[in-house]
Structure 1
């Protein structure tokens, strides 16, 4: 997929809505060769998805070995809206709490007092800093089940139309 095609998908209004959500599902291959899929908070800066994790997270060893990842951001309504993204993870250890980690948690319902308490807890927990997992999308697909479908369903619809015409 060409970069301009990726940008076009990610710039659609529904994609922008999905990119403003708090959670994505990060899929990668673990060091034992088996697949993993974990929910993780993220923020979108306009060109990259940034996820933050503990420096001792098992996924980091796997991402160092094989940085290929797939991400899913979706809704819980019918029909669902689904944004699928592929890319490569770049790891960046920081000695503090990355702004993206704090930004990724801004839509949770918290009173100002709860937010202050939460941030204090985060800063006390991550004394060794965090690792930023940065993914620049190299492929993207938006599925809304109205204007776009999963490729297998698109194929079935095409076959059905051919049968009806023939």
Structure 2
């Protein structure tokens, strides 16, 4: 091994299997509360913000002001990239966005979001919208030794 490869082998944890990465990603979805939301305007201006979310086993539910850059971008593009977890244990989620008017979400679903995140957009004086993100592609990795095989979902189907 070269010096660099030897150093990597000494300090990197063993790479997880794809099944382990999927379990770790699903655990984060079930237990984390915040996610990085990357969107872009029609003219390509990027925007990145953290938002709270609730995972129901199929999709992430988020809320943000309808007139905010993120709200406008998500409503227009109907796609998003999410970053879940720290940089050294990240799950990247590309998803399709469904826009839901604030009063159109069933109350029990909105109550669940508020209980889990500690934030209830229905109580805000700003006009909020719900954004339901259905994952279409999921990638997960910790270090360079997990770059191979990082794609866990493609076209909305788990492959791991």
With the length of structure 1 as denominator, give the TM-score of the two structures: 0.62
Q: Deviation of residue 100 (structure 1)?
A: 4.6
Change (3 A) 1:52 1:124: closer
Q: Does 1:59 align with 2:59?
A: no
- In structure 2, how many angstroms separate the alpha carbons of the residues matched to 1:123 and 1:133? 14
Residues 59-138 of structure 1: matches in 2 within 5 Å? 59-75=70-86, 80-95=88-103, 98-105=110-117, 124-126=123-125, 128=127, 130-138=128-136
- Structure (1/2) with the larger strand percentage: 2
> Aligned residues, how many?
128
- In structure 2, how many angstroms separate the alpha carbons of the residues matched to 1:84 and 1:16? 12
The two structures, once aligned, show a CA RMSD in angstroms of 3.2
Q: Indicate conservation of the 8 Å contact 1:18/1:74, yes or no.
A: yes
Change (3 A) 1:137 1:32: same
- In structure 1, how many angstroms separate the alpha carbons of the residues matched to 2:64 and 2:77? 17
Q: Indicate conservation of the 8 Å contact 1:27/1:69, yes or no.
A: yes
- Larger-Rg structure: 1
Corresponding residue for 1:160? Answer: none
- In structure 2, how many angstroms separate the alpha carbons of the residues matched to 1:49 and 1:10? 21
Which residues of structure 2 form unaligned runs of 5+?
Answer: 1-17, 150-160
